[in-house]
Amino acid sequence: YLKISKLALAFAIIHSKPPGKSSKEYTEYLAKAVSEQDFGWKWKVEVLEAEVLRLRQELLLTRISPRFCLENRKQDTSAETLLGQESINPTSYSSQLEDSGCDVCNDSAFDSLGIASDFHRSEHDVNTSKHWLERVPPLSLCHSSKEQSVTAPVHFLQRLLEIRNLSEGGILQADFSELENDSFTICKSVSQLLDGLTVFYNSPKFPAPSFLTEGVRVLISLITDTKLSNHVLKKCFKKIEEFKKNLIKIILRNRSVNRFQALHSVSETLGLLGRNNILRNSLISLLLSEVRQFAEQLLQAHQVQSVYDITQYENIFFLCMILEQLLQNETGESNISSSNYGEEEKIKFLKNLDQIILHLSDEFPLLSLYLWRVSVLLNSGQMQ
């Protein structure tokens, strides 16, 4: 039956082909037309799914705080006006981010993006309702689906954080138990944001777009908030773990000439994620595993005098710096009972480490120094 159908289709194409076109050309034309129709339907489905998610987000916010959503609708017009002004006067960025990328930026470079500084500020100032209300949802300025993959969930999560801060200050009544009743919406929104950030980190632009830095800021605020983080981590832990793994892969596999600025931004994001006690433990385990595997591969290549990946060697220092920073924070805390990151991974890292450092110290002194410093921090944490 299939053969007969194919034969009938072939005859139909031959009989109906326009003059001046071969059967092959006409077949390719028809195939292209059909595939374009399929793409059109897929695009329509994606648009409808996005609209359904937006409506679910609106419904969830209304259930949490009906008064906030009512007042938020009244402020939409003024918010769009403010957004227009922001697009006319974009934020100025550090001159380091406009450089060729030959230098590894210091902490102030990422502060110029407003992420690290905002995170520290939020730790010391909980009653920031005005700060959150002044945040303008960038959804109305989306010009591409790529941008919307970040701005759409950010718009929803921003308003969730606004409600949280206003309720904390006693200005607004809110029922966050509704998050338990609609786990799909919060999980889908966070997943969408993480996927969008991953796409932009894979092909970064400088200066960084404002919606990208806002996306990172919202994500960090969300997972460090005492009330919301439990809901988010409980439902989206696997997705956040996948996001951390993707960021580590981006650091290790980036081969562009001007990659250091981009990798510095990714490193800062990983460092900020590691400030959360739950995420910190798993992140330390991931970093220990990657650094250990690279050190073992480098030792093997050095012993047989084979070629090693110089680009990955340069990139591994970003992971070493993040790992050292997280371990220093862990050791410096007064309560170290949470230091239960993968004991198995820790044992694997410390096993034969002295031998690895001994054999690599002459040829690779900087890496050997980092490995030694990490081992010291691991052992000091264990002694305490």
According to the model, what pLDDT value does residue 82 have? 41
pLDDT of residue 294: 95
The mean per-residue pLDDT over the stretch 198-220 comes to 85
pLDDT the model gives residue 286:
94
| Poorest-pLDDT segment among 38-52, 62-76, 370-384 | 62-76
Contact criterion met (CB below 8 Å) for 340 and 281:
yes
pLDDT exceeding 70 applies to what percent of the chain? 76
Report the pLDDT value the prediction gives residue 381, as an integer from 0 to 100. Answer: 63
Cα separations in angstroms, 139 against 50, 136, 144, 163, 214 = 13, 9, 11, 18, 12
Among the residue ranges 198-207, 246-255, 291-300, the one predicted with the least confidence is 198-207
d(CA 61, CA 68): 8
Q: What is the pLDDT of residues 322-334, one digit of tens each?
A: 999 999 887 666 4
Quick count: other Cβ atoms within 10 Å of Cβ 252? Answer: 18
- Answer yes or no: are the C-beta atoms of 216 and 115 closer than 8 Å: yes
The CA-based angle 146-231-47, given to 5 degrees, is 30
Domain residue spans of the chain? 147-167+175-275, 278-330+340-383
Alpha carbon distance 32, 312 (integer Å): 41
Rg (CA), the chain: 26
Question: Is it the case that residue 81 has pLDDT exceeding 70?
Answer: no
Percent of the chain with pLDDT strictly greater than 90? 32
Angstrom distance (rounded) from CA 215 to CA 330: 26
Banded pLDDT at 188 (limits 50, 70, 90) = very high
Task: Sort 143 into a burial class: Cβ within 10 Å, 0-12 / 13-18 / 19+.
Answer: exposed
> CA-CA distance, 184 to 111, in Å (whole number)?
34
- Check whether 78 has a pLDDT greater than 60: no
pLDDT at residue number 28: 85
Segment 29-38 shows an average pLDDT of 79
Tell which wins on pLDDT, 191 or 332.
Answer: 191
